[in-house]
Chains A and B, each alone.
Chain A
Amino acid sequence: VSDVIEVVVRTGAVLVAFLVLPLLIGQTEHKVMAHMQGRLGPMYAGGYHGWAQLVADGVKFVQKEEVVPAGADRTVFRLAPGVAVVPYLVALAAVPLAPGWVALDVSVGIFFVIAVMGVGVLGSLMGGWASANKYSLLGGLRTAAQLLAYELPFVLTAASVAMAAGTLSLPGIVEAWEPWWLLWQLPGALVFFAAGLAELQRPPFDMPVADSEIIFGAYTEYTGLRFALFLLAEYAGILLLCALTAVLFLGGWHGPAPETFGWLWTLLKAALVAIVVIWLRVANPRLREDQLQRFAWTFLVPVALLQLAITGVVRIAL
């Protein structure tokens, strides 16, 4: 019985984190972006500095009519948002917060997380294909091209960390982490972060949803709750990417404080990375589709391979 309770508690905690933290990131984005542009951002919803803006947005999305285009493939169209969101939820369960604080301790954690994250992109692909809209299709295909290009450096750099730690388990990697890895794995960390951003289609890699040319890419035809689910998937993806960067490259719960505050360190590092994600969005224009591909194949992949070589050499030398 206690096993059942434990499973329920762990799953519940992940679900709560999955529903709350993306909203927190979204609100931070509203505020940080506004102040970086000399604005105030939301100020009304909820009373104090518009803290409830995203809750209000959610209520608005729920009230909206659900529209499925006449020519759309109904089943696939309606399934797509779920396919986009659920993988991030599953992947989040495998991310350790502190020693022993992980909902789903998989021995091949890093492999599991990356595999599941890749499924999330299928959601946009399905949405783009099923919408019966040329802009959606273009967006979906760009998503696919981007996934193909950036999954490689993403996986290569993750493999580099796994090689350095000698394990595929996420808690194991954090356990093995030492501060000098920051320098050793620096190129890998940057490539991992950039490739992750591209996979989430976040600016400056947001060509698949470039609103000035293809409206909103694969999400053009979506309304109401399903559209909100896609947005949630984007922010949940940011959460996952930030948590993964913190765990793999920034040492997770390691920090100058007692072990009991380990979870705080993980969250703090993830939050810091999330702010960088927002910052990059504010500061940079969108990369063109060809620049995007060139950046992946001629820069990120070589750097990732180089990192892999460095990791191997250092590993053997030690």
Chain B
Amino acid sequence: MGEVPGRGLTKALAQTFRRMTKPAVTTQYPDVQPDLPPRSRGVIALIEENCTVCMLCARECPDWCIYIDSHKEEQPPTTPGGRPRQRNVLDRFAIDFSLCMYCGICVEVCPFDALFWSPEFEYSEFDIRDLTHEKDRLREWMWTVPPPPAHDEHAADPKEIEAASKPAPRKGAEAGKPETGTKPVPRQAAEAGKQAGTEPVARKAAASKPDAATKAAPREAAKKATQPPKPAGEDPKPPGAAG
């Protein structure tokens, strides 16, 4: 209560009345489906045709909830007299969603676009063993994966397009050069966006970060040998951008 007796009372009455005139926040979930944001993490879908059994997802998974079995098959040479090739064939791909913590590292790390996020989330089971989805079930989820949302209007181009539109690298600079050339651009854009308070750009940059980090790791190690030591935890990017 303030100085005037009963002021708190009238304030409370006004507050509750104003609240009553606004729509309720309750969502009637089983009757009305929730309006999920894009990139919602519901369930992980698999295109098994894209999987090369590289095992990256299974190894990166913090919960070890991805089970992959495979065998090698010998393929006859394509040209007469050629060498027969070996090919990995996927026998089993299963994700145990009772262990999965929905971190999405497997989706991020997959180099062949075999794993996707689907927004479907209604797959609870009475038996915990039924939460292990085998590859045919993971394939079925693929139908529920939405097309990726359109890019924001003034956002920086995706890094693939940016890389393609760059002039070809000069003769002298080999291997790592074209990649390092493309990397800093979205990051700078992201920082500019963060300062301007435009959220979507920052989010996109964050989404592209993990694979940039993993790919940059060996290079960074090589660079450390030649350059003076830097404080730990510092972003390795600025020297790459300068060089």
Interface residues of A (CB under 8 A from B): 32, 34-40, 43, 279-280, 282-284
Please indicate which of the listed interface residues A32, A36, A284 has the most CB atoms of chain B within 10 Å of its own CB. Answer: A36
Secondary structure at the B interface, as helix, strand, loop or mixed, is helix
B201 CB, nearest partner CB in chain A, Å: 33
Contacts of A282 in B (CB 8 A): 16
Residue contact A40 to B28, C-beta cutoff 8 Å? yes
Residue contact B12 to A32, C-beta cutoff 8 Å? no
Against A, the Cβ 8 Å flags (1 = close, 0 = not) of B18-33 are 0110101110100000
Judge if B9 is at the interface, Cβ distance under 8 Å: yes
Residue contact B16 to A39, C-beta cutoff 8 Å? no
Q: Which of B150-166 contact A (CB under 8 A)?
A: none
Give the docked Cα–Cα distance between A38 and B15 (Å).
Answer: 11
Residue contact B12 to A283, C-beta cutoff 8 Å? yes
Contacts of B20 in A (CB 8 A): 32, 35-36
Whether A36 contacts B26 in the complex (CB less than 8 A), given A283-B12, A283-B13, comes out as no
Give the docked Cα–Cα distance between A32 and B15 (Å).
Answer: 14
Give the docked Cα–Cα distance between A279 and B26 (Å).
Answer: 20
Secondary structure at the A interface, as helix, strand, loop or mixed, is helix
Residue contact A284 to B9, C-beta cutoff 8 Å? yes
Contacts of B16 in A (CB 8 A): 36-37, 279, 282-283
B28 CB, nearest partner CB in chain A, Å: 7
Residue contact A38 to B17, C-beta cutoff 8 Å? no
Residue contact B9 to A38, C-beta cutoff 8 Å? no
CB<8 Å pairs between A and B, sample of 10: A35-B19, A35-B20, A36-B16, A37-B19, A38-B19, A38-B24, A38-B25, A39-B24, A39-B26, A280-B13
Give the docked Cα–Cα distance between A282 and B9 (Å).
Answer: 11
**Chain B interface category by residue count:** 10 to 19
Q: Which 7 A-B pairs have the closest CB atoms?
A: A283-B12, A36-B16, A40-B26, A36-B20, A35-B20, A283-B16, A40-B24
Give the docked Cα–Cα distance between A216 and B203 (Å).
Answer: 51
Partner pick for A279 among B17, B22, B25, CB 8 A cutoff: B17
Please indicate which of the listed interface residues A35, A37, A43, A283 has the most CB atoms of chain B within 10 Å of its own CB. Answer: A283
Contacts of A37 in B (CB 8 A): 16, 19
Residue contact A36 to B22, C-beta cutoff 8 Å? no
Contacts of B28 in A (CB 8 A): 40, 43
Give the docked Cα–Cα distance between A283 and B19 (Å).
Answer: 11
Contacts of A34 in B (CB 8 A): 24
Contacts of B12 in A (CB 8 A): 283-284
Contacts of B13 in A (CB 8 A): 279-280, 283
Q: Which of B1-50 contact A (CB under 8 A)?
A: 9, 12-13, 15-17, 19-20, 22, 24-26, 28
Residue contact B24 to A35, C-beta cutoff 8 Å? yes
Closest to B5 in A: A299
